[in-house]
């Protein structure tokens, strides 16, 4: 059957699409900006005919109406792979449950351990060959398509068409299609760069050399590193990252990125999702320089380490004096998620000439407005260790940079105290002595 005929036969209204959901189903909403707000709103409207429906999502960029219209979870249970600010708030209210995982394991987890009755994705309109493009969110979408009993597509002309691998679904696989409103995609403004961010970047950039392959996370500090690299003499950089961010566009436009010395996807930028401004979405649209691939191709340690000189730059919330890195929770309060940090730390360290950097400001302000050290003797009960101390390499604050590889616990503690805020160092050293973190020599 011609693909246009197939499309016409599967075109429905959003209410008809939601009617395909039954009680007891597990629905997957997909990832971030490719979640269908229209479907979510209509599903909430039909809640009274449904019960025991599990919905999975990731990094919500809009209020989820199945939560807002069913706060007592009489009809829906919402589970989430990685928290946004909205998801975090709803988790604190007891209506969202976090699913722990390393991001790169997503496709395998879907194919081996999960069921999906209904998958709902917002994609670009169907092309002449019958394919819908996943756009800015490849991640584990193809794996979810492979196991879903029903696939429902919302088409949106706002979704960029992104070249890559395993980043489409064919009309023959789809149960229903409805036309979206093609509203502009959510934009995540680049975090402002502070003086502290610039100081951290000043410690990192001298350790990056020509022909390095970058993975850069989100936030002011990674933005500061991109800005510093853009104005440096460093050249012939490659990019192999999970998240494509605005700062990478700057690097390309400044002529810093060629990818000519990568060992995989030579000459191309590799990513699994993008989240940023319209400038970024326009940049990756039908751009052959950029390759969208599944997250097990970007994030698994062995895939990362195939490239030489991998540079991994990520933020964290706290580091304890032994080198344990907490990046996703504060006590039992889930802040974000594991994401790809651990896999990129390991992949960078395993890479020939690679380096991993964990960045943090030396202090933060608590709820009472008091300064608190991010470098701590021990993590608070319930705080999740995202990167184990055995994996941690460079740790950077505005007061310095230390490499923990090969250091004893005593040496690690002293090194980390040396880059803590000067007003916190004496107290940290005394606590390290009292708790036996440092040996007698330092007591």
- Please give the Cα distance from 392 to 380 (Å, whole number): 19
- Please give the Cα distance from 26 to 114 (Å, whole number): 10
Q: Partners of 95 in the beta sheet?
A: none
Residues whose CB is less than 8 angstroms from the CB of residue 67 and which lie 6 or more positions away in sequence, other chains included = 76, 78, 90, 95, 96
Residues tagged active-site: 242
Write the DSSP symbol of residue 352: T
- Please give the Cα distance from 367 to 219 (Å, whole number): 21
> Is 323 flagged in the annotation as binding?
no
> Is 219 flagged in the annotation as binding?
yes
Measured in degrees and rounded to the nearest 5, phi and psi for residue 221 equal -65, -50
> Is 221 flagged in the annotation as binding?
yes
> Is 30 flagged in the annotation as binding?
no
> Is 340 flagged in the annotation as binding?
yes
- Please give the Cα distance from 128 to 2 (Å, whole number): 10
> Is 218 flagged in the annotation as binding?
yes
Residues whose CB is less than 8 angstroms from the CB of residue 201 and which lie 6 or more positions away in sequence, other chains included = 221, 224, 225, 227, 228
SS3 (DSSP) at 279: helix
Contact 188, 164 (CB under 8 A): no
> Is 436 flagged in the annotation as binding?
no
| Token output for 70 | 């069913």
Contact 216, 246 (CB under 8 A): no
Residues whose CB is less than 8 angstroms from the CB of residue 210 and which lie 6 or more positions away in sequence, other chains included = 234, 235, 236, 237
- Annotated binding residues for CoA, written as ranges, equal 217-221, 317, 340
Residue set of the binding site: 217-221, 317, 340
């Amino acid at each position: 059957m011609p693909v246009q005929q197939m499309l016409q036969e599967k075109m429905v209204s959003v209410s008809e699409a939601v009617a395909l959901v039954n009680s007891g189903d597990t629905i997957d909403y997909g990832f971030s900006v490719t979640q269908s707000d229209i479907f979510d709103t209509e599903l909430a409207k039909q809640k009274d005919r449904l019960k025991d429906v599990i919905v999975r999502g990731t990094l919500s960029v809009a209020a989820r109406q199945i939560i807002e219209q069913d706060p007592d979870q009489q009809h829906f249970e919402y589970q989430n792979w990685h928290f946004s600010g909205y998801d975090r708030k709803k988790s604190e209210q007891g209506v969202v449950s976090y699913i722990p995982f390393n991001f790169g394991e997503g496709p395998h987890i879907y194919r081996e351990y999960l069921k999906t009755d209904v998958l709902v994705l917002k994609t670009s309109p169907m092309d002449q060959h019958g394919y819908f493009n996943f756009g800015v969110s490849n991640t584990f979408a193809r794996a979810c398509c492979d196991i879903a009993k029903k696939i429902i597509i919302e088409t949106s002309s706002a979704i960029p068409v992104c070249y890559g691998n395993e980043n489409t679904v064919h009309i023959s696989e789809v149960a229903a299609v409805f036309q979206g409103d093609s509203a502009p995609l959510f934009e995540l403004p680049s975090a402002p760069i502070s003086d502290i961010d610039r100081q951290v970047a000043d410690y990192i950039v001298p350790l990056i050399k020509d022909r390095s392959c970058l993975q850069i996370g989100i936030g002011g500090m990674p933005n500061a590193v991109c800005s510093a690299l853009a104005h440096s003499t460093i050249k012939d950089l490659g990019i192999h990252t999970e998240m494509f961010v605005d700062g990478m566009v700057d690097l390309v436009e400044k002529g810093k990125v060629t990818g000519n010395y990568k060992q995989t996807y030579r000459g191309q930028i590799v990513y699994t999702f993008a989240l940023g401004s319209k400038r970024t979405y326009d940049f990756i649209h039908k751009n052959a320089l950029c390759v969208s691939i599944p997250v097990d191709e970007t994030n698994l340690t062995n895939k990362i380490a195939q490239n030489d000189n991998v540079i991994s730059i990520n933020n964290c919330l706290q580091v304890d004096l032994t080198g344990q890195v907490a990046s996703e929770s504060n006590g039992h309060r889930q802040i974000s998620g594991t994401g790809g940090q651990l896999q990129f730390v390991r992949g960078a360290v395993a890479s020939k000439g690679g380096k991993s950097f964990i960045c943090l400001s030396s202090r933060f302000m608590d709820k009472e407005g008091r300064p608190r050290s991010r470098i701590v003797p021990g993590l608070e009960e319930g705080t999740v260790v995202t990167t184990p101390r055995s994996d941690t390499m460079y740790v950077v604050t505005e007061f310095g940079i230390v490499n923990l590889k090969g250091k004893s616990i005593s040496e690690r503690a002293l090194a980390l105290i040396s880059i803590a805020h000067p007003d916190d160092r004496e107290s940290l050293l005394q606590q390290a002595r009292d708790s036996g973190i440092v040996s007698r020599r330092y007591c």
